[in-house]
Every structure is written in C-alpha cells, then in structure tokens.
Amino acid sequence: MTQPALQMDAVRKVYEMADSQVVALDHASLTVGSDEIVALVGPSGSGKTTLCSIAGGILGATEGSVIVGGEEITRYSDKQLTTFRQNKVGFVFQSVNLVPFLNARENLLVVDELGKRTGAAARQRADRLLDELGIADRAKNLPSQLSGGQRQRVAIGRALMNEPQLVLFDEPTSALDTELGQQVMELIRTEMKSRGTAAIVVTHDERITHFCDRTVHITDGVLDA
C-alpha cells in the first residue's frame, strides 16, 4: 500500500507572548494520500498558513507528529529541514515570489542549484516543465514581461523542479480573476494528477474547491472532523 504524502497527528503550534499564549494550531490531525489534492478552507487568521508551514518544514510544531512521504520531520534540526524542503516539498506562494531579475527558465533553475540536479539535467528538466505548462515560448521573459497566469505557471514549474511528494499552494488564485483562477486550478489538478503528486491548496474561495478531491475546513486553529 502506498504511504501517505502527509500525516499530521495531534499537531499544536503555540506562540509564547509576553504574558499569554496564542494557539495557532490546536491538535490538528490530517492525512493526505499520495496523489490526493486537498483544499484547506478557512478565513484569515484561521491557521491555514501555519498548518502548511509546518507540513512544509518551514515552522516546527510545538506538539504532535509530522510525517511527509514516510519521513518523520518533527524533531529535525534546521539543517535537516533545509535538506528536507529541497527534496520532498514544493511551494507556490500567494505572491508568486519569482526572482524579478531572472527569466522564467532561470527561476526554475535556481531551485536546483542546491538540489539533486545540476548542469544539463537541470536545464532539461526546466525546459520540459515549461513546455508541459504551455509557456516554453516565454522561457526568456522576465516576470515583469509575463501575465498573472503565466507567472503562476512559472511558480508551479518551480515547485515541481525537485519532483516533490507534496506541493503546498497558498491562495494560488487570489490575485486572478474568476476565469483565470479556474484555468490555473485546472492546470494544478492536471499537473498533480499526471505526476501522482499530492497537494494542499489553501484558499478562502469555495468556488475552486471542486477541483480538489476533498475539502477540509479550519477555524481558530481547529480542523473539522
């Protein structure tokens, strides 16, 4: 039986303030199948980004267990987490975060400078991804020369460069109009399913959840049953 892409068990994230505690995630348990796309829906401040940051090894959990692709990361050191992020997860941030002075192809290649591919292998991987995403003709364009949808495609390609087992999308359609947002979600679904790659799509927009296999709601750091 294929192991899940993500297993979170009773995960808490607590921030210590001057004279109080803020619970950002409260005993959250979530399993994501090896090729499952899960929509994580909740209002601002509900804990969506915290959950994804812990799943992606950006933040550490205060309590609980986090296993990604069979790898227990809960007590990893910073160095171990860096290696884990390079090899196991991909990120597509809300603001896209492309490097403005690098062209589309270079934005993909920069991911693998510390990864498992170098030289010709990395360039071939980048070119293949840009072609599959329908933007091979934009490979030499800077982000400022691309449309919002094209920039989002480059960001998806960058997230897939390291062949991750889990890709985390943070509000991937928030800056796009309805039609373009639907196109991007169709692309995300197609790309994830064709590779057998799992994904969590953070959103507050219920209109795009039908592109996902399952919807999980979060409120005040608590996941629905």
pLDDT 10s digits, 30-55: 999 999 999 999 988 899 989 999 99
Span 116-136, average pLDDT = 85
Please report, rounded to a whole number, the percentage of residues in the chain having pLDDT higher than 90: 61
Instruction: Give the pLDDT score at 115.
Output: 54
Q: Residue 193's pLDDT is what?
A: 94
- 6-16, strands of its sheet edge to edge: 21-32, 6-16, 63-68, 71-72
Residue 82 CA to residue 36 CA, distance in Å, equals 25
Residue 70 falls in which region: left (phi positive, over 0), alpha (psi -120 to 50) or beta: left
Q: What pTM was estimated for this model as a whole?
A: 0.89
Mean pLDDT score of the chain, rounded to an integer?
89
- The pLDDT tens digits for 132-179 are 889 999 999 999 999 888 998 999 999 998 889 999 999 888 877 888
Contact 213, 36 (CB under 8 A): yes
Task: Please tell me the predicted confidence (pLDDT) of residue 118.
Answer: 61
Class of the domain covering 6-223: alpha beta
Q: What is the pLDDT of residue 180?
A: 83
Q: Provide the residue ranges of all domains of the chain, joining segments of one domain with +.
A: 6-223
Q: Is the pLDDT of residue 131 over 80?
A: yes
Which range, of 93-107, 111-125, 142-156, averages the lowest pLDDT? 111-125
Average pLDDT over residues 81-100: 87
Please report the pLDDT score of residue 114 as a whole number.
Answer: 54
